[in-house]
Chain A
Amino acid sequence: MNTLTQSVKKFRRTPAFTGFVLFTIALVMNILMQGINSGTPLAFFKPAFYGSMLMTNAPFILTTMAQSLLLIVGLFDISIGIQLALVNVICIMVPQELGLPIWAGWLAAMGANLLVSAAFGACSSLLRLPAMLVGYAFTFIIKGVNVSIMSKPQGKVPKEVYLPYQTLIGGVLPVALLVIVAIFLMWLLIKRRPLGKHLYAVGGNPRNAYAAGISPVKVQMQANLLKGFIVGVGGICLTLMNASGNPLQAEDYGLRSLIACILGGMGFGGWGSMACGVFGASFFVLIQNAVYYFFSYLSKVITGFAVSTYWQNLVSDVILLLGLLVTIITAREQRKTLKEGLFNQFKGGEARVSR
């Protein structure tokens, strides 16, 4: 067997395969729709276009990556969306109200979000409360804090600060993409270290992990702090993108990032990787784009065809549900792998040798 087919086969068995298939479908659809709609077949590949798309969606993609990290240890946080707004609010208000430099605002925002993440970790891991309802309660708390810091949308970021984020390096490489890649590399690094193994061990079965000498509470806290860091980066990206503050934005990112992770092939605990999050979030974004182009094309071709954005949203959401349906087929290989893995465990590794 040559190495290419072997590596393809290997890839089919990884959790990210589901997300990859969906992502590819969405990407092709988006490229086609946009090409048809604009008349230039390769409109998608214009740096200005994909640059702005990555820039506007980087916060969502980063949030989903953070969510996927939590899912690996068997937790999830639906207040993650409003946490972006918290970072955004502090980034804006610290320089504006206290007269401190902008980097101080960023540091304060990052610190605040790490604190929130630690508190979430304390509630969900240390006190062992259901993560979903803790997230629900945290949404209220953070919303209240956000509005008491900033009562209404306001503030601005100096041009020399946000412009670098919105440019393309060498005219082709968006800075937002670099941020995402940097976070992803960080994940790859962590995955290779003992912490990476511990994350999966705790997510897979906390009791077994505990018996093996890993402290589930400690590992889940570490995952929460890492999540807090990534969300902090996402919040700063959001601030640079909007160049203003809004205390109540992005709340729906919490639930959306969770759906995106599952679409990308994550399971609840010990299954999946950050790549799943990236693929899932990208699928989300690309489908919405593709549907938008599809409808604007229809309204061009058919005279008198006009539909509200409500229809577009409906079609996108139906496609998302179909995406979940597709995972039945695409995840078959992985579920088989998972079962074989379990089998190997029971056999004490003998089965692996004979195969």
Chain B
Amino acid sequence: MSAAEHRDLIPWYHPKKLLISFRRSPPLVAFALSALLFLITILINPKGLNNRFIGSLILLTTLLAISSAGQTIVLIGGGMDFSVGAVMSAAAIIATYTMDKQDSVLIYVQVLALSLLMGAVVGLLNGFFVVKIGLPAMIVTMAVSNIITRLQYVFTSGSPAGWAGQKFVDSIIYRFFDLIPSIVIYALLFVPVVFWILNRSRFGKQVYMVGNNRQAAYLTGVRVNWVIIMTYVISGMMSAFAGILGAGYKATARVDIFGEYAFTSLVAVIVGGTTFSGGVGTYTGTIAGALLMTVLSNLLTTLGLPQTMRDILNGVIIILLLMLYNRSKAVRQ
């Protein structure tokens, strides 16, 4: 091999190519933007760079990444799950109500079983309606999510329901070395599962296929409807799991406490390079998107602007992020 040929194989000899491949990789862009925004945050407020700040950044990113996992799978399968926020809130309420300041393995098992069951049932409803009604997934899951929220009101009469057990709360917010929050342990258990589902399992391949081309997937023998329903079931269960962790983080839960996660998770997933059209996307991207959204929200807090300016800036930045690489093809092409 000549020296020139050898050089061709090394990416950093071709900065232009490197730039192109960088721009084509949304996770990389999202990570880079996160780093940039983080730097800006530090430059604005150097005193803010302490263990507490970084710890809370990790905690919130982990929570958002976990709650966006289901959304990622559903979007890759060509659907959309709007009930993430409602399911998370419902699971949080189940958790705090069942625990009621107590800690024991039995109660943990109860909470886990009840919440996951609830998530699975909601997911099953979502999936069934999406497949059977044949209406856009967004509308159907939105209608189901409204009902979940109403049920929370009926169940709690609108007031906060119970408290999470102290030990459970500590298992989320305790800081190792005074820096890394203990929620990371849950993430270490959870994230490999998502990667396994999407990249290693047969089901994951089928989800990509269904999202890419439903007809072709059907013709190759994939049970398309079953796969779609399962994406919603998995999404519901993952959201429920995220809701339990969220209950530990907030220590108490009220109606619709995580309602905003319906949209934040969606934005995180989209910013991470998963597309609305389905068939494209990675969980790495979603983690990058979650980091970006958390850093952004931290930056807006650090700027110390009034709420109105924060809102406006938040909206403008989301549009700029979308403009960067989430544009659909031109009609002319």
Contacts and interface: CB of A to CB of B under 8 A. Distances in A.
Given A137-B316, A140-B314, A127 B327 contact: yes
B331 interface: yes
B33 to A, nearest CB: 16
Interface string A294-324: 0000000000000010110110011011001
A144 B331 contact: no
Contact of A133 (B129, B309, B318): B318
Contacts of A142: 315
Contacts of B104: none
B6 interface: no
B270 A133 contact: yes
A127 B319 CA distance: 10
Counting chain A CB atoms within 10 Å of each CB, which of B134, B309, B311, B313 scores highest?
B311
Interface of A: 123, 127-130, 132-134, 136-145, 147-148, 206-207, 210, 216, 255, 258-259, 262, 268, 308, 310-311, 313-314, 317-318, 320-321, 324-325, 327-328
A296 B153 CA distance: 19
B147 A137 contact: no
Contacts of B106: none
B192 to A, nearest CB: 29
29 contacts: A127-B327, A129-B319, A129-B322, A130-B270, A130-B328, A132-B138, A132-B276, A133-B318, A136-B266, A136-B318, A140-B312, A143-B308, A144-B309, A147-B311, A206-B331, A207-B331, A210-B331, A308-B157, A313-B150, A314-B150, A314-B153, A317-B143, A321-B143, A321-B147, A324-B129, A324-B133, A324-B139, A324-B140, A325-B133
A336 B142 CA distance: 27
Given A308-B157, A327-B135, A320 B146 contact: yes
B31 to A, nearest CB: 20
Majority SS of interface residues in chain A? helix
A127 B323 contact: yes
A144 B305 CA distance: 12
Contacts of B307: 144, 147
Contact of B311 (A128, A140, A258, A320): A140
A311 B154 contact: yes
Contacts, number: 122
Contacts of B327: 127-129
Contact of B134 (A144, A207, A328): A328
A259 B153 contact: no
Given A133-B267, A147-B307, A325-B133, A317 B150 contact: yes
Contacts of A258: 139, 142
B47 interface: no
Nearest to A322: B143
B150 A310 contact: yes
B150 A148 contact: no
Contacts of A259: 139, 142-143
B133 A320 contact: no
A142 B314 CA distance: 11
A138 B133 contact: no
B318 A137 contact: yes
A287 B229 CA distance: 30
Given A134-B322, A317-B143, A262 B316 contact: no
Nearest to B305: A144
Interface string B244-279: 000000000000000000010011001000001000
Given A133-B266, A133-B318, A327-B133, A255 B142 contact: yes
Interface string B295-333: 000000000000111111111101100110011111110
Contacts of A268: 136
A144 B315 contact: yes
Nearest to B275: A130
Contacts of B153: 308, 310, 313-314
Contact of B328 (A128, A143, A210, A313): A128
Nearest to A79: B315
A129 B319 CA distance: 8
Nearest to A210: B331
B158 interface: yes
Given A137-B318, A268-B136, A327-B133, A144 B158 contact: no
Contacts of B328: 128, 130
Nearest to B138: A132
B143 A141 contact: no
A130 B329 CA distance: 11
